[in-house]
Amino acid sequence: MTAPAPATGPANLVTVRGLSVRYGDHVALQGVDLDVREHEIFGIIGPANAGKTSFLRALNRMDEFVPRMRVDGNVTFAGRDVRSVRNLYALRRQIGVVFPLPVGLPLSIYDNVALGPRLAGTTGRAALDEIVERCLRRAALWDEVKDRLDGLGSLLSGGQQQRLTIARALSQDPSLLLLDEFSIAVDPVTTMRIEEVLKELRRELTIVLVTNLVQQARRLADRTAFFLGGRCVECAATDALFGGGARDQRTNDYLEGRFG
């Protein structure tokens, strides 16, 4: 009798090997090896200047817009080396980014969300209407703005602008969403609303979440990596990491608030 094949877990969407990042002579990240699985929230924690944001920048080649930034090593997304992708716009449609401070473009709420699809070739009003409503709903913003879509996105509250930024990123139908300290500019109530949005989005895409709030990583992340001094100290299932399973004492010290 043939034994059943062993169950397999989610496939890796991102594979990082030997990743190093420099800004001129300054080494921000070195020797990072990590995998990010499909349909997980992957948390990255660590103190300031640990290399967390540099890691995100390397994933979708933001270094091309950062003076003196150099990336070495290998980053594979959906089976392709990101450095070999010729159509950078197509790559960034697949890898959306939400930055720490929400930036509402000087456009209407509608046009903030519709801009990306228009640039990709969608011009029909009915199709754009559907995209705008769907993305605003996914970002838990539709009910608050549906009657003022022609109003400027930059006039929304900080928390609403952050959710508008998420909706704008979702309008590209990305497979991977990168979030860098999204809680900095929003109040605790809005933070919890966005966290609920992220839990729902995990069904549809993969999320890499950089956060300076260790309890946020504990609430959201399936797995968490701890960065320190430009290196990935360790990566483990979040429950294990926060439940005393950290292998490195520096991780425990950070989680327990001894530094950071």
pLDDT per residue as tens digits for the range 90-118: 898 899 999 887 666 789 999 999 999 99
pLDDT of residue 260: 75
Tokens found for residue 85: 């992708």
Residues sharing a CB contact under 8 Å with residue 80, sequence separation 6 or more, in sequence order: none
**What is the set of domains in the chain, with CATH numbers?**
12-255 (3.40.50.300)
Query: Whose CA is closest to 194, among 163, 168, 227, 230?
Result: 163
Instruction: Report d(CA 32, CA 137) in Å as an integer.
Output: 36
Phi, psi angle pair for 117, to nearest 5°: -60, -40
Tokens found for residue 164: 């508008």
pLDDT in tens, 174-217: 999 999 988 876 788 888 988 999 999 999 999 999 999 999 99
Residue burial 168-190, b: 16+ Cβ < 10 Å; e: rest: bbbbbbbbbbbbbbbbbbbeeeb
Query: Whose CA is closest to 223, among 13, 81, 80?
Result: 13
pLDDT of residue 2: 42
Tokens found for residue 168: 């704008």
Q: Give pLDDT < 50 ranges for the chain.
A: 1-7
